[in-house]
Chain A
Amino acid sequence: MRSDVSPVTVTGAEAPVERLLRSLRSLEQAYSPGHHGRWSARRRSDLVDGAVRGLAQGLGPNVALVALGGYGRRQLCPRSDVDLMVLHPGEYPDAMFETASRVFYPFWDAGIPLGHAVRTVEESVATAGERVDALTALLDARLVSGDPELFGRLESELSRVVATDPAGLLERLRIAAAERRSVYGSCSQLIEPDLKESAGGLRDIHLFGWAGRILGAASLAELVHVGVVREREAAWLDGAEEFVVRLRSSLHLETRRRTDRVPLELQPRLAEAFGFDAVAGLAAADALMRTLFEHARAIEHVSHTFLDRAAAKLGGPTTHLEVERPIGPEEVLRAFARMAETDTPLGPESLDAVEDALLGVPRWTDGMREAFLSILHAGAGGARALETMDRTGLLSRFLPEWEAVRCRPQRDPYHRFSVDVHLLRTVAGVVGILAGESGDDPLATEAAGAIGDRDAVVLGALLHDIGKVGEGSHVPKGVEVAASVLSRMGVPDPTAASALFLVQEHLLLSDTATRRDSSDQNLVLDVAARVQDPERLAMLYVLTAADARATGPHAWTGWRQALVRELVSKVERVLQKHEMGPDRAVLLALRLDEVGALLGGANPQDVETYLARLPRPYLLATEPAAVVRDFPLVAPPLGASEVRTRAGVGEREGTYEVTVVVRDRPGLLSLIAGALAVGGMNILSARAFTTEDGVALDLFVVEPAFRGEIDEERWRRFRTNLRRALEGRISLDHKIREKRGHYPSPTADVPVQVAVDNGTSDFYTVVEVSAPDRIGLLFDLARAFHDLRLDVHLAVVATYGVRVVDAFYVRDLIGEKVVEPDRIAAIEAAIEERLAAKSP
């Protein structure tokens, strides 16, 4: 509408800015939001130049308008700050402020963010000496309008400062970059990176301009010529800068704000603006972030190596390795192994050489595998060697499977890093723990000491999430991919088998510990059966700790650690005591299979529940056929006082095996033992098991007190007696005393001995009682435990002639072991007293 207004009018300085606004709007509309790259940013800067020059008309002599920072570099994103400095010779400062405001106010009034400064040459240089951001802003200084002589003085003062201590300035830039990295993180490692400040962002690209000035190189091409940037690195940077500028511009356009952080919720829209499509296993937003990560990695890596080389150029120590051409795949890996061992980078020519050495996927040799493993084991130097291998594309050449996880973003509350970065960090974590650096986790140090096959752990760490390729559950996929990687590398068994075990089970400890009840013995035994030996348990714990630490700061909390450690120490004990081990694990799996197969006719759901409920010690101690026979006793819901029995002929002539199934209650064992005694049966052995849901499953071997058979009629009487005793309708005590009167007293020279042991089981206190045999002995002992308010979980009765040795696995009514000395003394006293009581 006001396009006819001349840019230079007496009525004021408004016109140039209005014209600028209109031109900026046209520029914005000229391209879709995803296509404002460096050309657009330069055009924007030129438009601002036009407005500044228009406003500067009529400014007095001896003053210069100087563009700083991004504006100085002629690169303005849609909402970038415009940094403008008024340079003056130091006279008439008041008049200077007035003229400056003639330029500044129209920008501010139009809502264009303009950063301003009014300084002399001396002030500028002094500020640059104090603050590194002022120095870099000045290194980008460009005269927009005004006195060229004054600006020339600034330039030569700055050149003098640079020439005085170039190495010192370079060091300041390096320190500033390191500080930025620690505050803003790494652009390629964050799901919401800062495009400007994060390492691998735009600031690292600007670094080449600043350091170039220090080295006397005016462009990237000249830096290549000087030999501090490789030609292909310059090409990577070129592509990366264009991409990041476009992304930053579209971020400004989408948010209408000056923001550099890429928020999660905006990523799908930005991906659309860029034209990224979802492909199999990768959402459009992930494809966008993956591309950003690739570019950011290139920027970060090249800027890092560039600073090293630049420092060497300025007289610092030259520390890099060289390799000789031509080289093959094995020499490439050996070169990286040397780099890892000495923590010294490869020189520019060597990097060219190793990149050129590989055509296609190489065939792995033993030497290659050794070299690669030594890189994995090399700690910090190894991490840097792997990083270089990744940036140069070599890691994916040696391991094509790596490409699918490379730069793949992860979107969950815990993971901070892309899959491949997480894997490499896990390897570094494992190496640290194996070297004894486990911080405040003493268990990790112990575990590290138990690991003999260290290759298996680092390989397991490297591959544990290799199945995260967007195709459903990552664990089975990971096992499949890891198997192909391990066989490609020619890793022999048992190392390969252990590494695959780690891939398969890497979530076992963490998931089980946080979601399941570690005080459930079945659970601990099942975990032990999957782990099978203490070394593998140690490997799994080290991987679990390193995996969690490599996930993010919130994944390995003290809370999670406490839960995992509790489970690990329980599983460890079960394995140490051979309650579970390879043989038993095989037996248990076999038993579960066999019983499952034999019960093929029953409802599969019922069978599954039955097998899950059965106490593992029972399954291990019982023939599959017997377990099958116990199915109808245990599986159907059980009434409160219902008694189910199954009796059969025992192994030894004249003995019987009987299974009793009753709802568990305190003192139950004594009632069953009592009812058996009353029925005229001697108990030769007893094993009492309890399911976690409170059903007692007690197995006895008995013989009749008198010769003869035990017929169904006697079992029926036994069931009736037990049921009546359970309901409190008869007193077994009384009946046993009656019975005892008919038999001789126990032999007096067998002493009663009681031993309380808390070292055998994590779950129970074991009370071992040695006593002379007598009618109802088990009844008495079980009764004593009941009076002590202890629950008998397992009782093993063995009869040696006149002497009986019984072991009772007990815990108190709230499920705890008995550890207090006074309670232990009370157990001993109560049992001795009970057995000393004269039979009436």
Chain B
Amino acid sequence: MKLVVAIVKPFKLDEVKEALRSIGVNGLTVTEAQGFGRQRGHTEVYRGAEYQVDFVPKVKVEVLTDEDGVQQVVDAILKSARTGKIGDGKIFVVPVEQTWRIRTGEMGPDAI
């Protein structure tokens, strides 16, 4: 099992969610996240006063999938989250040791 973790632009969340649903993903976790990458922060100007923005708001999407599904999930996110501009985000795939469904106690692939 793998956990696909994607950091995407907030306004892309709906598209990513739809793309994942269309390939049969029926569960995901969404977290409001802030951070910076190569983009760093930026400065905003309002009425002549400058404000330093160190952390850029993003959305973190996490999807649990079996090994076979990883590429499909990654492709769906790549396609739906892309604008071509800076700050489109990142995708990480990390191994998952074990999974339990709390209600039933099922584990492994059955618990996805």
Contact: B11 with A572, CB < 8 Å?
A: no
B11 neighbours in A (Cβ, 8 Å): 514-517
Question: Digit string of A807-823 for contact with B (CB within 8 Å is 1, else 0)?
Answer: 00000001110000000
Contact: A565 with B46, CB < 8 Å?
A: yes
A519 and B86 CA atoms in complex are apart in Å by 10
A823 and B11 CA atoms in complex are apart in Å by 30
Nearest CB of B to A57, in Å:
52
Contact: B84 with A562, CB < 8 Å?
A: no
Contacts across chains A and B counted by CB atoms under 8 Å:
62
Q: Is A558 part of the binding interface, using a Cβ–Cβ cutoff of 8 Å?
A: yes
A816 neighbours in B (Cβ, 8 Å): 39, 85-86
Contact: A572 with B83, CB < 8 Å?
A: no
Contact: A558 with B47, CB < 8 Å?
A: no
Question: Digit string of B4-29 for contact with A (CB within 8 Å is 1, else 0)?
Answer: 00000111001000000000000000
A514 and B58 CA atoms in complex are apart in Å by 10
A559 neighbours in B (Cβ, 8 Å): 32-34, 57
B33 neighbours in A (Cβ, 8 Å): 559
A767 and B50 CA atoms in complex are apart in Å by 23
Contact: A446 with B47, CB < 8 Å?
A: yes
B51 neighbours in A (Cβ, 8 Å): 442-443, 565, 569
Q: Is A450 part of the binding interface, using a Cβ–Cβ cutoff of 8 Å?
A: yes
Closest B residue by C-beta to A817: B42
Q: Is A563 part of the binding interface, using a Cβ–Cβ cutoff of 8 Å?
A: yes
Q: Is A228 part of the binding interface, using a Cβ–Cβ cutoff of 8 Å?
A: no
Nearest CB of B to A568, in Å:
6
Q: Could you say which interface size class chain A belongs to?
A: 20 to 34
Contact: A572 with B46, CB < 8 Å?
A: yes
A449 and B56 CA atoms in complex are apart in Å by 27
Q: Which of B50-65 contact A (CB under 8 A)?
A: 51, 53, 55-57
One of A450, A515, A558, A565 near B44 (C-beta < 8 A): A565
A442 neighbours in B (Cβ, 8 Å): 49, 51
Nearest CB of A to B86, in Å:
4
Q: Is A608 part of the binding interface, using a Cβ–Cβ cutoff of 8 Å?
A: no
Contact: A562 with B86, CB < 8 Å?
A: no
One of B32, B39, B44, B49 near A566 (C-beta < 8 A): B44
Q: Is A557 part of the binding interface, using a Cβ–Cβ cutoff of 8 Å?
A: yes
Contact: A562 with B9, CB < 8 Å?
A: no
B10 neighbours in A (Cβ, 8 Å): 514-515, 563
Closest A residue by C-beta to B39: A816
Closest B residue by C-beta to A568: B46
Q: Is B45 part of the binding interface, using a Cβ–Cβ cutoff of 8 Å?
A: yes
Contact: B53 with A815, CB < 8 Å?
A: no
A557 and B32 CA atoms in complex are apart in Å by 9
One of A515, A569, A572, A815 near B14 (C-beta < 8 A): A515
Contact: A443 with B46, CB < 8 Å?
A: yes
Contact: A519 with B44, CB < 8 Å?
A: no
Question: Digit string of A432-459 for contact with B (CB within 8 Å is 1, else 0)?
Answer: 0000000000110011011000000000
Closest B residue by C-beta to A564: B57
Q: Is A644 part of the binding interface, using a Cβ–Cβ cutoff of 8 Å?
A: no
Contact: B46 with A569, CB < 8 Å?
A: yes
B57 neighbours in A (Cβ, 8 Å): 559-560, 562-563
A566 and B11 CA atoms in complex are apart in Å by 14
B44 neighbours in A (Cβ, 8 Å): 565-566, 569
A320 neighbours in B (Cβ, 8 Å): none
Contact: A815 with B86, CB < 8 Å?
A: yes
One of A515, A565, A572, A814 near B86 (C-beta < 8 A): A814
Nearest CB of B to A510, in Å:
12
Q: Which of B64-112 contact A (CB under 8 A)?
A: 83-86
Contact: B56 with A446, CB < 8 Å?
A: no
Nearest CB of A to B47, in Å:
5
A562 neighbours in B (Cβ, 8 Å): 34, 53, 55-57
Closest 6 CB pairs of A and B: A815-B85, A814-B86, A569-B44, A559-B32, A569-B46, A562-B57
> Which of A's residues lie within 8 Å of B, judged by CB?
442-443, 446-447, 449-450, 514-517, 519, 534, 557-560, 562-563, 565-566, 568-569, 572-573, 814-816
**20 A-B pairs (CB sep. < 8 Å):** A442-B49, A443-B46, A446-B46, A447-B47, A515-B11, A515-B14, A558-B55, A560-B32, A560-B57, A562-B55, A562-B57, A565-B51, A566-B44, A572-B46, A573-B45, A814-B86, A815-B83, A815-B84, A816-B39, A816-B86
